[in-house]
Amino acid sequence: MKLGEALRLRSDNYKKIAELRTRAVASAQTQEGAEAPDDPAALLDTIERLWAETLVLVQRINRTNVLTVLPSGQPLVEALGERDFAHVALAGGST
């Protein structure tokens, strides 16, 4: 799997997890006697599976970032750190 694909899958998983959490809360807050729109247990199982899948993706992405060296000789992980620092600095020190 290419780095770009892993980054896209990670992003997709974060979005899916957020959506599923919202649905799980809505299902858990269904009034007594009313039928929940989704099975909260099934939603939680799916969330747990996505978290486990996302953890593997994040570990692979991080491993790639540590091992990749840019043509300038700078490790990719250092360049990413500099980019993140510049982003925070330009935002006035807040994230």
User: How many angstroms separate the CA atoms of 56 and 74, rounded?
Assistant: 25
Tell me, what's the pLDDT at 23?
93
pLDDT by position in tens, the chain (length 95): 899 999 999 999 999 999 999 999 888 887 777 888 888 889 999 999 999 999 999 999 999 999 999 999 999 999 999 999 998 988 887 65
User: How many angstroms separate the CA atoms of 11 and 18, rounded?
Assistant: 11
Q: Strand, coil or helix: what is 94?
A: coil
User: How many angstroms separate the CA atoms of 48 and 41, rounded?
Assistant: 11
Q: Among residues of the chain, what percentage have pLDDT more than 70?
A: 97
Tell me, what's the pLDDT at 54?
98
Tell me, what's the pLDDT at 64?
95
- Identity of residue 95: T
